Structure 1
Amino acid sequence: MNVLFLQTAAARAVALGLMLGAVLAANVQAAPVAEADLRAAVAVAQPERAVLQAVTRAGARLVAVGERGLALYSDDQGKSWQQARVPVSVTLTAVHFASASQGWAVGHFGTVLHSADGGKSWQRQLDGKRAAALALAEVEARAKVAPAGDAGVAKALANAQRLVADGPDKPFLDVHFFDARRGLIVGAYGLIFATSDGGQHWQSLAAQLDNPQAHHLYSIAVGGNAVYLAGEQGLAFRSTLGGGPFQRLSTPYQGSYFTAQADEHGNVLLAGLRGNVYRSADQGASWQQLTLPAPVSVVASSRSSKGMLLLANQAGQLLASSDMGQTIRPLATPPLPPLTGVLQLDDGQLIVTSLRGVLRP
């Protein structure tokens, strides 16, 4: 979940845009340009070298997503990449496939995309305007049956009204589908939605979370019969695959957790700002802090089919654990740019996404 990267890139883009605008304004009247959520991603000569945010599997295929609506796919284990057809130009932050063909990607402007052909083409299922309206409708329904003067509902209503007033600018930051029909997405300002029909319809689950300040939700992790959420200011939740309510977990760290992993044995790992990593062996009831080689923010993680846990940080370092975080070791790799995603293939080959594209270190 790479909000820090996106903010830095956005700041540079704004600065450059202001300079160019000052030069051109005196000579040329620019033609109106559609917002990024209304125009298709343009073809890029070398999309594998662009800023990419996440990579995943779609069966034997690899799929990566990133800035300006870029979605790429590779059928040769990441040696070469092709650009997919995408109807938006917003930054895409996360991608997940429930099967070799059925996948979903999320990103800025409240964007949710669906692919039915293994990532070759994508169609929009949700946008920020509709997401905000759904969030408001959910709170308004609660307000009708809540006791008069309920402070929690009043706060939730104010947050939802603000979402609508702000417009469709809030990003989704992670997505997970349990199968081809049931999925979950989370994002900035406490956004959380679920679907039970493959994304045709979405329902806000904000009422299930003890998150009155609408803190950002960065990551979804699934292990065994449990679902975990991780976010800013030490925010963490646990629920069940059966759709039970989300229980807020008490964690020792009050900073941001950007990524989470879990396994079928009740082990959970939360990692984030300044290299803070915490491990639980009892589904989040208690936590142990882990020590990393450097206090650098961990922004991405993954687990291989063989159970290998991988962490990636902003310094371009990769860390690995074969025992779900009990011991962590740095991997010997060539110098890498700031990383945003990591994946290990069945043959041990690593695939990473970064500010300089997708790499095979």
Structure 2
Amino acid sequence: MAVVVSRIKVRLGIAAAALGLGVTLGACHSQVENVPLSDQNIYFSDKFYDVKALSPTRALIVGYGGKMLATDDGGTSFARIDGGTDLALYKIAAVGNRLWVVGQKGLILHSADGGKTWQKQDSGTKVYLFSVYFLNESRGFAVGDRSTLAETSDGGQTWQARQVALAPQDSESEMALAMQDPIFYDVRFTDERNGWISGEFGQLLRTIDGGQTWTARQNTLMTPESGIVDAMNLPTFFGQFVINDREALAAGLDGRIARTRDGGATWRFEPMKLAFPLADPLYQPYVTADGTAWAVGAAGEVVRLPAGQTEWTRADLGMPVYTWLRSVDFADAQNGWLVGGYGTILRSEDGGKSWKVCLG
């Protein structure tokens, strides 16, 4: 029973990303009052899980129920794309004009024309896949439930899925047993050999052999400074961002952000300078071309760390956001997007100094 309760609590983090917002109006606005109604593609019931900025004006957004939207004009209008599924879509990967999206029940979709048309690929698994990452047009990885890692070397024409073997826990408790079969929420690689996986129960795994073997590095977070002395108290990490071959960020439960500066060998929690501490999860970190770091999460939380500074602070979006935000992405240092529940799509054209609501 303890395992079931634990899993439910953890999944609420991502399924809090499954309760959501949606807006039914048009274009991008600094506030939503007094905007005329029109035929729209965005609704209050929409739940958006990921956004990929493909250019300063083009973006792809995916979410619950197989919903897929694209804009070519910076959010003034959105077109509905038929992905051929009603399963939830969680993450997008892009290499040039080729795109991949993963979702429920082992779903992988692929587009070779920039997202206009999509075909299903056989992932080799039926577990939920929460993240996908491609190094180039051929080599890609996807991760999900039950410690699942799927790999391809031919652009997804064939995938091989397996369960990553983790070192057994010392304890025989139900929680310890569950920690041997965690959900993987995100995967990133810097080259053919070096990569990271983040996930449930604080999992921060590192590979230096292209994914053949993985080593858990989350225990390096257990220090006197962090106040965590038991691996079972480590926060689940939902999202990562790789800055370079040595440095990466991971964001997770309790508003915690961890950073590695040595290629994932060791991790440390980031300092926060907040009037009110974060109590809700952070889902996704991102670092823009100018070095500014962002992280988004539940309860509309957005924190940022300007380049050269050492403490994260809350970002001012210029408006209240009453729902979770699941993803952040920038095309360059200026043009960025935030998406989340209730059909929320926010757009910035000035590096995050100001944000506008895109209403479809």
- TM-score range for the pair, normalised by the shorter chain length: 0.7 to 0.9
Looking at structure 2, the residues matched to 241 and 308 of structure 1 have their Cα atoms a distance apart, in angstroms, of: 30
- Contact 1:78 1:351 (8 Å CA) reproduced: no
Alignment CA distance shift 1:11-1:356 (3 Å): closer
Looking at structure 2, the residues matched to 122 and 86 of structure 1 have their Cα atoms a distance apart, in angstroms, of: 6
Equivalent residue number for residue 181 of structure 2: 214
SS at match of 1:200: coil
Equivalent residue number for residue 152 of structure 2: 195
Alignment CA distance shift 1:274-1:207 (3 Å): closer
- Contact 2:328 2:338 (8 Å CA) reproduced: yes
Query: Which one-letter code corresponds to 1:4 in the other structure?
Result: L
Query: Is 1:74 paired with 2:71?
Result: yes
Query: Which one-letter code corresponds to 2:153 in the other structure?
Result: S
**Higher deviation after alignment, 252-261 or 202-211:** 202-211
SS at match of 2:328: strand
- Contact 2:147 2:163 (8 Å CA) reproduced: yes
Equivalent residue number for residue 260 of structure 1: 240
Looking at structure 2, the residues matched to 70 and 238 of structure 1 have their Cα atoms a distance apart, in angstroms, of: 33
Alpha-carbon offset, residue 205 of structure 1: 4.2
- Contact 1:48 1:81 (8 Å CA) reproduced: no
1:179 to 124, 136, 142: 136
- Contact 1:341 1:353 (8 Å CA) reproduced: yes
- Contact 1:222 1:263 (8 Å CA) reproduced: no
Counterpart mapping for 1:222-241 below 5 A:
222-223=189-190, 226-240=194-208
Equivalent residue number for residue 351 of structure 2: none
Q: Using the aligned pairs only, state the percent identity.
A: 25
CA RMSD in angstroms comes to 2.7
Query: Is 1:318 paired with 2:315?
Result: no
Alignment CA distance shift 1:73-1:10 (3 Å): closer
Equivalent residue number for residue 171 of structure 2: none
SS at match of 2:65: helix
Query: Is 1:118 paired with 2:86?
Result: no
Looking at structure 2, the residues matched to 325 and 242 of structure 1 have their Cα atoms a distance apart, in angstroms, of: 33
Equivalent residue number for residue 7 of structure 2: none
Query: Which one-letter code corresponds to 1:344 in the other structure?
Result: F
* Structure with larger Rg: 1
Query: Which one-letter code corresponds to 1:85 in the other structure?
Result: D
Alignment CA distance shift 1:228-1:322 (3 Å): farther
Alignment TM-score, normalising by the size of structure 1: 0.72
- Contact 1:72 1:119 (8 Å CA) reproduced: no
Task: Output one character per residue of 1:260-303: Cα deviation in whole Å (capped at 9) or x when no partner.
Answer: 12222512222201112222222233332224332221012222
Number of aligned residues = 289
Equivalent residue number for residue 47 of structure 1: 42
Alignment TM-score, normalising by the size of structure 2: 0.72
Q: Which has the higher contact order (CA 8 A, sep 6+)?
A: 2
Equivalent residue number for residue 290 of structure 1: 270
Alignment CA distance shift 1:5-1:256 (3 Å): closer
Alignment CA distance shift 1:88-1:273 (3 Å): same
Alignment CA distance shift 1:275-1:180 (3 Å): same
Alpha-carbon offset, residue 114 of structure 1: 0.4
Equivalent residue number for residue 300 of structure 1: 284
Alpha-carbon offset, residue 97 of structure 1: 0.5
Equivalent residue number for residue 85 of structure 2: 88
- Contact 1:58 1:103 (8 Å CA) reproduced: no
- Contact 2:290 2:333 (8 Å CA) reproduced: no
Alpha-carbon offset, residue 346 of structure 1: 2.4
Counterpart mapping for 1:86-165 below 5 A:
86-99=83-96, 101-126=97-122, 130-131=124-125
Alignment CA distance shift 1:314-1:180 (3 Å): same
- Contact 1:174 1:219 (8 Å CA) reproduced: yes
Looking at structure 1, the residues matched to 73 and 11 of structure 2 have their Cα atoms a distance apart, in angstroms, of: 30
The gaps in structure 1 that reach 5 residues or longer are: 13-43, 132-167
**Higher deviation after alignment, 291-300 or 242-251:** 242-251
Looking at structure 2, the residues matched to 91 and 229 of structure 1 have their Cα atoms a distance apart, in angstroms, of: 21
The gaps in structure 2 that reach 5 residues or longer are: 1-9, 21-38, 169-178, 222-232, 348-354, 356-360
SS at match of 1:315: helix
Equivalent residue number for residue 320 of structure 2: 335
Alpha-carbon offset, residue 209 of structure 1: 5.0
Query: Which one-letter code corresponds to 1:214 in the other structure?
Result: D
Looking at structure 2, the residues matched to 310 and 241 of structure 1 have their Cα atoms a distance apart, in angstroms, of: 30
Alignment CA distance shift 1:110-1:236 (3 Å): same
Equivalent residue number for residue 344 of structure 1: 330
Looking at structure 1, the residues matched to 87 and 286 of structure 2 have their Cα atoms a distance apart, in angstroms, of: 24
Query: Which one-letter code corresponds to 2:320 in the other structure?
Result: P
Looking at structure 2, the residues matched to 322 and 223 of structure 1 have their Cα atoms a distance apart, in angstroms, of: 23
